[in-house]
Structure formats: structure tokens, C-alpha cells
A and B are shown apart, each in its own frame.
Chain A
Amino acid sequence: MEVDQTVSVSKGVFVFKNNFKPLTKLVKSKRKQKNVVNYQNTAFSSNAWYQSYSSLWQNIEEKIENLNNAMFSSVLSRLVNFVKSSHDFDVEEIPTAALLTGINMPDHAAQFKSLSNQIKESVTPHVACLHSQDCQNIKYLIENMIGQLVKEDESFSDEDSLSDSTRTHLKKSQLNLSVLQCWYENMYQEHSQTSPKKQKTKNKKILVIIISDFESFNAEVLQKFILIASCYIRVLPFVFIFGIATSISTLHTSLPYKVSSKICVKVFNSQRSTCYLNEILENVFFSTSCPFQMGGKVFNLFIDIFLFYDLSVNNFIQNIKYAMAEHFSYGNAMALCSFNKKETSAIIAEFSHEDLENVRHLLSFRKLVESETYENQIRLLTDDDYFANVLTEEIVKLQKYIRRLHIFLKCLLILVEDLPKAPLGQQLRDLYSVATAKNITNSPEYKECFKLLGFQSMEELSKKLSKILDYLEDKILFKHENKMKDFYEQLESFVDSMNNFNMAEMEEAVVEIENNEQVALKSLDRKQFKEKLFGMTKSQNQPLNRYEKLREKIITTLSQAFEEYLIEPKSFYFHEIFFFNNISIQSNIIGSHRSAIHNALNDPQYYLQCDCCTIPNSSVIKHTMPDICIAYKLHLECGKIINLYDWLQAFLSIVDPIEIDDETKRIVSPELQARFTQCVAELEYLGFIKSTKRKADHVARLTWGG
């Protein structure tokens, strides 16, 4: 494959197996990996944009995984402790942990995997994970479970130099609980012989059964399973872990008392998915490690999908991945999407003429050109070196801007998150989506927020300011950004002066005002009194006390800072390099099958990519199109009920156009009739028409419009 061909791939679909996981057999995986490497070499792995994309994505994936582990760790350690201590004493009921996970099970697959790994490491090697699809009835469930437990032991004892000949593979039909019991007793018998009796009980390892999708299990199967397991609880120390998606009451609706009395449930809550999303956003995508930024529209689209459709963080991350791939595949210009100044300047230095042309194709470059003088315009367009310098400058500006954008958004969030009704929203993501779509400081919500801030009491305001200071402290001190430092010091002085405020002084000021009023309110006639009152309402906010003056000052300082840093990204040149705002990916992210089918039938060239079927507008029908498309397009022209004979005639006139002079009926060849009948049957299968009894030889349309 030529390199040129693959540069413009934005419309194609490419499969990258960069996350390739080796199969169980080593040889196989080696061979395959080689294939993958070759494939990537021939494709575009050497292109700069792809390299920066893949390294960035790897980085992000790693961070997400770390974050996942950290977030799940508290629940995890509690669970592991529960499992550990569950059989310390003789139990009559099966100890059971119910983990409330939230409705998106695929998101939790990783959690359950790490849970089972952790239990294997620290508690017991005997862990079986059961999935509903493998456990249609009780027989399969038990065979599956015992298979996992016994097999685990085999790989476990592999190190104990057991030769293959001694191990015979167990047949599936042989696996039942009495086999498990004798296997278990056999394993721990030797221990008990060597060690004194007291240690025997400690040596016995717990059998952990993880059921990750409780809701999808057949309730009857589970009931039976629990009953069976409880018969063996004295010999086989079982522990259950249920992953429950909805709420704990499902446990009681699906298990009758005679079953639920056999288990002793302890409930573990895991995090809500919205919190999970916020964590992921704030720690991964809004951090300095991710230079790739989503524009307001795209970001809103993803958030909407999350909130309205699935609440799946996993899906959200995959959507971002898709957007990133789309973004970077624009060309080498996107290789500049990085926060490392040295790296970007090195990349620019290596840029060829084509690459720079690629950058020049960005839309915002036109704005840059237009803003320059005539001479510079020519230099920008023709002189590569000059252009490279300008580009470097602009990129540095953007890098600085994005970093500050996140910092100040966070500061703004601290200020506005607890305002009544929260006009700007309570989450960082709300602010981000506004700030990247438009100039946030011009928005009415922002103005309302600052109006509300103007009424804040001293304690609240100083609390917020010190919060901001805490946040800024670890963000800027080690960097030498003068403006930021000035801002920081200014805030610090405000907080100091607020803390040093003498309450008595303030009260004095208030009393003074009141005294003034009282003097003025002495004997007056009605009209004068009214005027006086009217005048007072006007002038009431004039005499400010010291705190109010200070507050005004603080707020103007803050809003100045925000106005300076929270500008919309569009105002920067080359913002496309960092911000991805192409909403057209919507159709790729949200699949809509109806329009896809309509598109395919109405304009087959869109999918077939053949030359013969190009049509100027959608109402044209060509005889080269597939039969079903012709029939479909003809049926769009009909009303509620379609006359089959007329339809056939119209079909024939397109497929086999013969001039017929008079009204004599033409003889339809059986081949054409068969083709037509097939089309009708296919359309009926797709649900566009159905047969009707209302009129003979007619079919009814099931869709509207044409």
C-alpha cells in the first residue's frame, strides 16, 4: 500500500490491533503478532500523527486503568476482607456479599476480574466466576463451577511437578458436588496429616463463587444452586459474591424465604456512574496529560449519550477514542497536539513541505492570513521557515491557554458550584462544555452567577477563596508564570484582609448608618415622608461598609481574570489542532438503523460505491440498481395501498424498457416476474409492506412519506 493512499483515510474504516492480547498458545500469538506488526508497517504507523495518537492513547488508557483500580480499591479491600473472615467461625448460612454495581454490567467486568485476581492472590486459589449465559440450568451451572474450581487446582499444582500422565481430564458429566467434595477433602487431607489439628481448619481454603450478573440469572436455577450449596456448607466452605445491578430488593423478589434463609447477605455499595464519569473526566481528560480537547458540541453529544441513553462510562471512553482517531487522522498537522513544548518544536522542525501544507489547510489559518499585512500574507503562504516560526508561536500560545483554561475553570467551579439553582451547573463538565462552545464570560448564566456572588456573606466568600488558593498552590508555585503568581498573591491578600476584619468595626459602621437615618426620620408630613422614603430606597446601597467594598473589589478582580483566560478556543489560530469539534461523527457514534436502511435502498451507490448507480437526485431510478432498490423506490411513490399489478408494470418499465404502442398487455417473462415477487417478499420481510385483505391484489404500506 502506498503511503499517499493512506493519508486521506478519514472516510475509511481501518482495524488496528494495537491492543492485541496474546492467545493462550504462545506460538500462535507470536505468529499473529508478527502479522500485526507487518500490517502496521505497511499502513501508516510511520506517520507522525499516528505515532502521537497511539502514544497518547496508551498513556490515557494506562491512566484510566490506574484510576479504576484506585477507585475500586476501597470496595475491593472491604470485599476481600469480608471473604477472608467469612469462615473464621462455623457458619450455618452461606456468607454472601451483595455488591450493588449500577446498571451497566459491561463497565464492571474489569472490576470483577480484578476482584477475582485479588482474592486468588491473597485469600484462596479457588475462585469460580459464573455468567448467566453459561448457566441455563442447574446442571450446566454446577458443571461449570466445578470445572473452574478443579481446573484452577490443576494449573495451580502444575508447579508441584505433577507429570501430565497422572492428571486425567475430568469429563463434564462426571462433575457433581460429591466429586467436588472428595476432591476438596483429598486436597486438604494431606495438610491435616502433617499439621496439628488446630491448623487444619486454617489451612482449608475458602471456595469463592462470583456471580456478576445476578439479574440475568434464571431465578429458579439460582434458588436450586443456593439450596444445594447450603447442604454442603459444613464440608465445603462456600462464599458467594453477587453483583446486583438494580437494588437489593431484587434479591428478595427472586429468592423465596426458604432460599434466602440459607444465605447471610452483606451489602457493599459501589460508586454511582455519574461520580465515576466525573472522576475520569477530571483526572484523565481534563488533566495536563491529555492535550486532546473536545469542542463544546462533541463534548455535549458524548455527555448526552451518557446521561440520556446508557450511563456507561466505558462507552463514553470508547466514544472519545473514536473522536481522537478521527481527529488525528486528519494528517500530520495533528502531531502537534501535545503539551510538550520541546516536542512540538522538534516536530515542526522535521515537518516537510507537505506537512506544512497540511497545516495551512486548517480553517483558522485563513483568519490568520487575513489579519496580517500583505507582505506577511505572502510570506505565510510561501515561506515555509517563516510559517514554521509563526506556527510554533501560536502553538505555544495555545498550550498555555489550554492549561490556564482548565485551572480557571476549576476556580470558577469552586465559586459557583453551590450558588442557589447553580446557573452554570454543578460539575466541571458543565462549565467545560459552555466554555469551549462560546465565550463563557459573556453568557447570561455567568453574569447571573456573579450577581449572586455579590450577595455572598464574608464567611462563604473567604472559604471559597481559600479553597481556590489551595487549589492554585500546587498548580503554579513551581512554574514561573508571573501573571498567575500575581493573581495568586492578590487573592491571598484579600483573604488576609478578610480574616483580619474586626467584627466590631463593621457593626459600628452599620450602626452609624442607622443613626443617620433616624435623625432624618423625625417629624415630617406625609408627602415629605414619602419622598424621603423613596429617596432612601434609592440611596440605600450607597453607603457600603468595609466588607462590601472589599467584596466588590474581589469580584471585579476575579471577573477580570476570568475574562482574560476563559476565552473561547475559536479565537485562537490553529485551534483545530487541539480542539476536535466535528459534529458529523454523530452519525457514526449513534447508529440509526432506519435511516441507514432507507439510505441503502434509496441510494445504493452510497454503500456499493459503484459508478453505474450515480444519481443526480434521490427521485431518479436507474435500471442498474439492485431489484429491491427499484421496487422500494417505486413503492415510495404510492399511497397507503399499492396495486400489485401497477407496481409490477412500473417495475418492468424500468428493468426492461420496451416501447409499447397500444394498450395490448405485454407478456411478462417468468424470470422478471420471479424477480419482482422476490423483491416484494423482501420488502415484506423488512417491514415496509404487508398483505391486506381489504382489497384483492393489493398490499398495504407500513411506512409514511416518500
Chain B
Amino acid sequence: MDQTLSLLHQTLPCRATQIDHLHNLFAYKDEPHPETVYIQGGPSTGKSIVVTTLLEKLELKHAILNLVECYTAKILFETILNKLSGHRMDPKNPVPYAKCENMMDFLQHLKNYSLEDDLTGSVIVLDKAEELRNMEFNLLPAFMRLKELSGIPISVILISELVFQKFLSKANIVDPMKIDFPQYNKDELLEILSMDIENARRIVENEYEHSIDFDLEFYKNYLNVFLSVFYRACRDLSELKYMSRINFVKYCQPIITGQNTVEDQMALWKNVAPTLKSSLAVLYLRIDTSNQTDQVVKHSVGSKETSAQSLELPFYAKYLLIAAYLASYNSAKDDKRLFMKFHGKKMKKLKDVKMKSKVSEQLNTQLGPKPFAFDRLLAIFYSILDEKVGFNNNLLVQVSSLVELRLLSSVSDNCFLDGQKYKCNVNFDFIQEISRTVRFNIRKYLSDFSHI
């Protein structure tokens, strides 16, 4: 027993208390297992891996399933039964172990199976348990009291990123036993990341087609440098692992080219610092920049402006988009003043004077897009376009293709043919860039700016 525990501690560092806790609960076969255990913790804090390895090492009968893939309850039940019974499906005629439409069927089949084979002490693990909230209402209470309902000593482990309070509903749920997986701190991250050393060796070998000899100390030094930049921005282990691998290749580059040796850590650090800074900008974006087009990609990822430039739109579609932006961010009562040549003189009222001193929270451009009718879009389109253009089907198609590209979104029901309503989805920087390509001064037509 102690052997498995120490093995677990070795393979899964920094999770000692949690492992001890779980081990206490499940390791002793002669003692009854808890009915439900609720495991909570942020993303990539080792929840699933701890539970999985623990159950495997303890050689308990178990079924682990991710609730994301169970888009119907039927799949959920049948997969649990398949896994518990070890049923293998024939691909030519894939029949599950038993057909289950609802919870009652499931319990019945579970009881039937427990007669064939002893299910005592087996465990059902439901990963991503927060999905249960969107599924049938009876699933969560039923799984929480599975032992009681089925009459079999079977336990359920729920793994979720949410705290249990988010699950509370009208149904009377007994509070389960909770185990918290806190976020790793810097030293723990360092320890876990340094286990990646074999991978790092292999990656370097792949990249440069010849290996370099380095020890754990060298790698830890690199990780120290790496974490000093990244720890502030990101605590997510899997993201850190991904970024550390990418940057390690660049860290080793001077060694391969012969500029520096493995001992030259100061020089290596100086060399990699700018790379680390620049890759901080693409954190979480997961774009593989390991080929020749990385310049282009970095640009298009980095700034919104270039993404507007790289977008190819036909001329009228650009104007339609501009018109949609104007319709979304101007109120309709300003249209006459903005788009008509002879709109008459407006009496100045106290309200208008106040308008001039608008605070930024009241600016239309800050308040988000408002829906507008199709007719208004066309009217603005025709007034901002200098040349005369016939109203034809190709123009109409442009509107729907803008919707398809998610630059506009349709806010009215599709079955409502008359007077479709839209919203403009692009931001001010983007539209400014677009209007610059057609030499259109958008500020002149925005009521926010024309007051000033």
C-alpha cells in the first residue's frame, strides 16, 4: 500500500495532500468508500491525472468519462455500462452492452450487471461535471445518491472547475465530500515543468538534427528565466509547458551555432530575453510560428489594424460595412443632420450644450452597437457613396455575405422577411482602417466626434 502511495507522490509532484486524501478514501478495500467525492480546481491543476492514475494504481474497477462528449444522456449511460462491463463493440454492428434511455433503465441494468460481476468498490468518474447543469435535471441528484438508488456500494467522483455552490438547485442535494486542487505556485510550476526535460531534449534534437548535452540544472536555469517573464501573465500549466517548449529551442540556438557554451548562462539569458518578450504577445494564441511565414502571422495576430488591411473586401462591401457601422453607432435622430445636405438650422438647446461635454461612458462608440433596420443601412449607404449605383441583387448579396463573415450579425428572426435588423460587429479601429482604404473620413459622420 505504501509503495503505491510513494509511487504516486513521485509521478505526480506537488499534489501530496490531495493524493493522501484520495488514497485514504479509496485505498482500503475493507472499508466503505464515500458515496460522492467532488473535486474542484482551476484548469490544468492535475485533477484528472491524479484521479486517473490513483484509480489505476489501486486497481479499482472504474469508468472515467468526459461529459463534454455525452451530448445526450443516452451516450452517458451506455458508455458507463460499456466501460464497467468491459464490453467491446463490434464495428460492423455496434451494439452497446445495454440500451439505456433514462436513469431508470440505467439503474436497472446496473443492478443486473452487479449480479453477474461484483461491482463493490467500483468508481464512476465524471469529468467536466459542470456540463451536468445543462443536461437533464435528474442526473446530478441521481449520481450524487447512486449508492442509495442502486443499492450497490459504488462511488462517484465528480471533477469540475466550478465550486460546488454553482450546482445548488431546488433538488435537495447532500453536500458531497470536497477536495480542492489549488493553483500551483512558482516553485511547484518549476518542479513540474522540469519533468519535461526529456521532451525538451527530443525537441532540440529534432530542430537542429544534433543533440546537445545538458543536465537538469541547465534546464532548471532556463525555466527560471522563462518563468520570470511568464509567471506574471499566466499560471496555466499546459500553456506554460507549451510556451516553454517553443522558447527552449531558441534558447539553445547559440549553443548549436557555437557562439556560447552550456555554461554561459548569462549570455544565453541575454540572448533569449527579447524572444521571450515577443512570445509573451502571442500567449494563449497557439499559432505555430515555426515556418517562414511567421513574420506575416505575427503581424496579423499582433495588431487589429493589419487584420483589417489583410481582409479582402469588394469596394461596395466596404462601404456597406462603413454604413452599417455608422447606423450602429449613431442614433437615428442624428441621421438627418449627418447625412443630408440641407438639413436646416437646429435650435441650440441646453441639452445640446450638455451633449458637448459628454463623458466617455456616454459616447455612442463606447456603448456598443445598436440594432438598425435594413432600410436605414441602405439609406446611409447611398448617402455616403459619391457615385450613383443601381440597387441590384449583387448588392443585396453583399449584405448577406457580410453576415456570413460575421462582420455583421442579424438580430431579428430569420422568418421575419420584412425589415431585417442587423448589428455591426467590428470595432472603431477596424472600421477606421477600412475607411482609410477607400479614403473615407469616418469621424466626420459619427455623432460622437462631430459634436466636438
Contact = CB atoms under 8 A, between A and B. Distances in A.
Nearest to B95: A174
B440 to A, nearest CB: 15
Kindly name the residue among A166, A183, A274, A309 whose own CB sees the greatest number of chain B CB atoms within 10 A.
A309
Contact of A260 (B71, B91, B286, B312): B286
Contacts of B391: 592, 594
Contact of B82 (A170, A178, A248, A591): A178
Contact of B307 (A166, A170, A249, A594): A249
B390 A590 contact: yes
Interface in A114-154: 137-139, 142, 150
B94 A273 contact: no
A252 B406 CA distance: 13
A182 B69 contact: no
Interface string A152-178: 000000000000001110100010111
A139 B314 contact: no
B381 to A, nearest CB: 13
B224 interface: no
B285 interface: yes
B66 A231 contact: yes
Kindly name the residue among A176, A260, A274 whose own CB sees the greatest number of chain B CB atoms within 10 A.
A176
A175 to B, nearest CB: 8
B51 to A, nearest CB: 15
Contacts of B202: 89
Interface in A176-213: 176-179, 182-183, 186-187
Nearest to A101: B312
Nearest to A593: B393
B393 A215 contact: no
B310 A267 contact: no
B393 A260 contact: no
A587 B234 CA distance: 59
A254 B405 CA distance: 12
A544 interface: no
A227 interface: yes
Given A170-B94, A182-B89, A215-B406, A308 B315 contact: yes
Interface string B207-227: 000000000000000000000
A250 B43 contact: no
A125 B188 CA distance: 45
A264 B43 CA distance: 18
A267 B72 CA distance: 34
B313 interface: yes
A245 B66 CA distance: 32
Contacts of A258: 43
Given A246-B406, A247-B300, A310 B397 contact: yes
A265 B287 contact: yes
A249 B315 contact: no
Contacts of A139: 71-72
B394 interface: yes
Interface in B297-339: 297, 300-301, 304, 307, 310-317
B392 interface: yes
Contacts of A263: 286
A170 B89 CA distance: 13
A592 B68 contact: no
A269 interface: yes
A166 B92 contact: yes
Nearest to B401: A103
Nearest to A232: B69
B286 A265 contact: yes
Contacts of B315: 307-308
Contact of A174 (B94, B238, B297, B316): B94
A308 B310 contact: no
B187 interface: no
B392 A308 contact: no
A89 B300 CA distance: 29
Interface in A252-272: 252, 254, 257-258, 260-261, 263-267, 269, 272
Contacts of A272: 312
Interface string B59-101: 0000000101101100100010010000011111110000000
B368 to A, nearest CB: 15
A267 B94 contact: no
A314 to B, nearest CB: 14
Nearest to B290: A266
B286 A224 contact: no
B405 A260 contact: no
B316 A167 contact: no
B46 to A, nearest CB: 15
B413 interface: no
Interface residues of A, number: 63
Interface string B229-262: 0000000101100100000000000000000000
A93 interface: yes
Nearest to A213: B404
Contacts of A273: 312
A303 to B, nearest CB: 12
A245 B406 CA distance: 10
Contacts of A89: 202, 206
A264 B288 contact: yes
A311 B315 CA distance: 9
Nearest to B239: A261
Contact of B286 (A150, A183, A246, A264): A264
Interface in B93-145: 93-94
A22 interface: no
B185 interface: no
B28 interface: no
Nearest to B234: A257
A524 B296 CA distance: 64
Contact of B311 (A247, A592, A593): A247
Contacts of B312: 102-103, 272-274, 311
Given A103-B312, A252-B285, A590 B406 contact: no
Nearest to A162: B92
Given A215-B404, A266-B288, A308-B316, A592 B392 contact: yes
B420 to A, nearest CB: 13
Given A103-B313, A247-B300, A309 B394 contact: yes
Interface string B265-294: 000000000000000000011111001010
Contact of A590 (B88, B90, B394, B418): B394
Contacts of A150: 91
B395 interface: yes
A54 B288 CA distance: 48
A687 interface: yes
Nearest to A263: B286
B438 to A, nearest CB: 11
A583 to B, nearest CB: 14
Contacts of B239: 257, 261
A182 B88 contact: yes
B301 A248 contact: yes
Contacts of A636: none
Contact of B314 (A186, A309, A593, A594): A309
Contacts of A166: 92
B410 interface: no
A453 interface: no
Interface of A: 89, 92-93, 102-103, 137-139, 142, 150, 166-168, 170, 174, 176-179, 182-183, 186-187, 215-216, 224, 227-228, 231, 245-250, 252, 254, 257-258, 260-261, 263-267, 269, 272-274, 305-311, 590-594, 687
Given A137-B71, A174-B94, A249-B307, 12 more contacts: A93-B286, A102-B312, A103-B313, A179-B94, A182-B89, A187-B91, A215-B406, A248-B301, A254-B406, A261-B238, A266-B287, A308-B389
23 contacts: A89-B206, A103-B311, A170-B94, A177-B69, A178-B82, A182-B91, A183-B91, A215-B404, A215-B405, A228-B66, A231-B68, A250-B406, A257-B239, A258-B43, A260-B284, A261-B236, A261-B238, A261-B242, A265-B286, A267-B296, A308-B316, A309-B398, A310-B398
A-B pairs, 3 with minimum CB distance = A183-B91, A592-B392, A591-B393
